[in-house]
Structure 1
């Protein structure tokens, strides 16, 4: 990790100095973190938060648009989404400087930005505050729902192989208590061992998966080079966004980092992590599609041979890795809701501790209940990616940036304003078109 830490210090987009060289208020020095995470801890969490069930859905995403378009699409979407998150972190830093605070949450940052932005938007500040909160919680709980279904589906195939045939919903019922127990882990520092184990298990599982992907000669059919239908493009974007971005986790990692300046910048931790993630997604997506073609399922592990022990081992390891990732994804929703509870309730420490545990249990029961009601992966991955991430990772960061620089700091030819408006339009288009095609698929699947 030393070389990455060295590179992170080479270029820092946030320097803590104004244009005249005078030291300004540095929010990073005023953060009060009980258990800050080191560079290596943060990198482990970033990789674990982004390399989950999404990477196994990439072959199905590649199937939708063909090999050439998917190669360009994954790189373009990944680079674009990474740039938007960098905009968001930079805007939050600037707002913290103005407010002379160590840190502000995503919803609070949006509220302050809109309050100081164009006059027509200021009346909507509270709306955006609650809207960002709602979408962020929906997104994190949506990921947890998909993770629960993913673990149950892979375990079901293993149990079926050994003659223990029970329904998918019953597998979900057996998962409930272990999910509650693992979700009682208190903070990110304590989650580091879980993420480390999960990363190691994921590596071994992906090695086993690759054993099947490269064992036969590859035949490239002409249909593999073509986009199937125009409706597949928004679904591809939604699935790729779901796979690549974990906005809530990214912001939580930046906040909890021991030296947050190493997180941003051209050679910052976030950019380096995203390059690794995009490379892995491209490799798995392309090789998976080349191997299974149009027969690819929502998760590539479901295509592995049902009767081979290596395939069963891969499914079990992937299920364990995703299971261990559950508390990391649930952490963001917990932090948002628990902060609100503490503000509303002036209770003693014992009452707050009880409410803490009750909230953690409730945040397992909610996505688990959704998984039991609708135990399906494919269409919901695209739907959650298109709906939540188009807003959280594109529209909201650009809107915040637009308000932060209002009215006279948009730069030469107001390029910042033009950039932000383009991002907002693209983000809304991805959101609307992706939701439309995903809903059509859900109706077709369950109709």
Structure 2
């Protein structure tokens, strides 16, 4: 539909039984034509009586789905986001996604099977995989819809929370800054926790390798300082294209290590008949935290989507998310299942801690250490992508740091500072086996289930409730179904948060006593 130069719009109205007459609509002020809303040239009816520049005409009923709506909170943005000139391919994005998802959490899944029971944990892995994929898709759909409607090229997780709240129901709009702050705080806590786990994993495995193969024997804390320079140097990488190359190397090493471990697990004696199918409530909830920690990838979804050359390829049945989560769920289920039936009740916090002390398995430990080393940069990239642009904006407003030549050295200093924080947390909290499920059921549960469901509700329910002019009943039906589905996801998240937190705290308190 074309908008004439004078701003008036011509649409067909049923007048006196005639449908072919054309009625002019008063011009819409240019201030009411918001950029980014009507980019595809279509205007969508969202109200039973159509408002034009704040005026209503109740004498005639609109017979088409074409109208203008000055309130952008009720406009449904159609079409796909345009391709980006510089972006990552589908395969490169999938590599980065897989590298970010598969890490130390995967290697600890046999312990989760022990905590929940064999078949209970097996089912939980695929259930959490399906639900996580659904919530990731919700997050991307919200981001793409809000980006199209507001004319933004990209939004991060906190930005989606802000925009969803700002254009939702009127009573929610004043809390947009609070919503963004809560989401960003949860992401920071989660990502710093993950980086700390990665750091401990690298230090402990380097200690094991050198203790077994050389005469160089130092403490795990000393190794944390030894590996600090190479970790900082790797995290000086600023381009996702370069990171994708290291991700590909890490994926190759991971595949090789997992094939070697899997063949060992398959050939070993199994004790499946002696293992419980389900344990107890506390065990199941603790296992949920460990499994959810392994699946936690919501924080890196939008940074990757924002770098994707063709944004629609992130979603869909063969999109990056669906394909990636299918592969990740299969790897997780196999890792946990065969690890548990091989080592039984003797299973430790990581598969590598149960492997025989032979040269071949030492090489596997080294490969996995490199995998985690290359994966560390992906996890830290999420934090940098979220915080550093805000720091740059503040520096640009400052006379002292407004010089662009200072931006690069200050960014590198900031990246090094993040690595030092991860090392400090790792030194201060050495028993991360108990903190992994704790992080999973707190920040992980909120980011995985609660926040995406709430954002989806705030973004799309108001649109469906206002879809009266086009399809009335169907719009309300979609809104109610979406409310029910998202309410269910929020309830799962709240229950998992409360029950998992209490179970983990009890386990942390009781373990020293039983020892």
Shared fold per TM-score greater than 0.5: yes
Question: Structure 2 matches for 1:41-440, cutoff 5 A?
Answer: 41-162=92-213, 163-222=215-274, 224-306=275-357, 308-346=358-396, 347-407=402-462, 408=465, 409=475, 411-412=477-478, 414-440=480-506
**Once the 2 structures are TM-superposed, how far is the Cα of residue 24 of structure 1 from its aligned partner?**
6.0
Measured in 1, the distance between the counterparts of 2:169 and 2:87 equals 37
Query: Contact between 1:27 and 1:96, CA under 8 Å: does it hold in 2?
Result: no
Q: Could you list the runs of 5+ residues in structure 2 that have no partner in the other structure?
A: 1-39, 45-64, 68-75, 397-401, 466-474
Between Structure 1 and Structure 2, which shows a larger proportion of helix residues? 1
Report the secondary structure of 2:231's partner residue: helix
Measured in 1, the distance between the counterparts of 2:232 and 2:489 equals 39
Q: Could you list the runs of 5+ residues in structure 1 that have no partner in the other structure?
A: 1-15
Residue deviations 1:16-40 (CA, integer Å, cap 9, x gap): 8888699967673275x7x511111
Q: Among 26, 29, 38, which residue is 2:82 paired with?
A: 29
Report the secondary structure of 2:82's partner residue: helix
**Once the 2 structures are TM-superposed, how far is the Cα of residue 342 of structure 1 from its aligned partner?**
1.3
Report the secondary structure of 1:231's partner residue: helix
Change (3 A) 1:98 1:393: same
**Once the 2 structures are TM-superposed, how far is the Cα of residue 442 of structure 1 from its aligned partner?**
3.4
Measured in 2, the distance between the counterparts of 1:446 and 1:195 equals 39
Change (3 A) 1:374 1:446: farther
Query: Contact between 2:147 and 2:155, CA under 8 Å: does it hold in 1?
Result: yes
**Once the 2 structures are TM-superposed, how far is the Cα of residue 151 of structure 1 from its aligned partner?**
1.1
**Once the 2 structures are TM-superposed, how far is the Cα of residue 446 of structure 1 from its aligned partner?**
6.1
Report the secondary structure of 1:29's partner residue: coil
**Once the 2 structures are TM-superposed, how far is the Cα of residue 121 of structure 1 from its aligned partner?**
3.0
**Once the 2 structures are TM-superposed, how far is the Cα of residue 62 of structure 1 from its aligned partner?**
0.9
TM-score by length of 2: 0.79
1:441 and 2:492 aligned: no
Larger radius of gyration: 2
In the alignment of these two chains, the number of paired residues is 428
Change (3 A) 1:445 1:312: farther
Higher relative contact order (CA closer than 8 Å, sequence separation 6+) = 1
TM-score by length of 1: 0.90
Q: Which residue of 2 aligns with 1:12?
A: none
Measured in 1, the distance between the counterparts of 2:290 and 2:107 equals 11
Change (3 A) 1:168 1:365: same
Measured in 1, the distance between the counterparts of 2:226 and 2:106 equals 25
Root mean square deviation of aligned Cα: 2.2
**Once the 2 structures are TM-superposed, how far is the Cα of residue 299 of structure 1 from its aligned partner?**
1.0
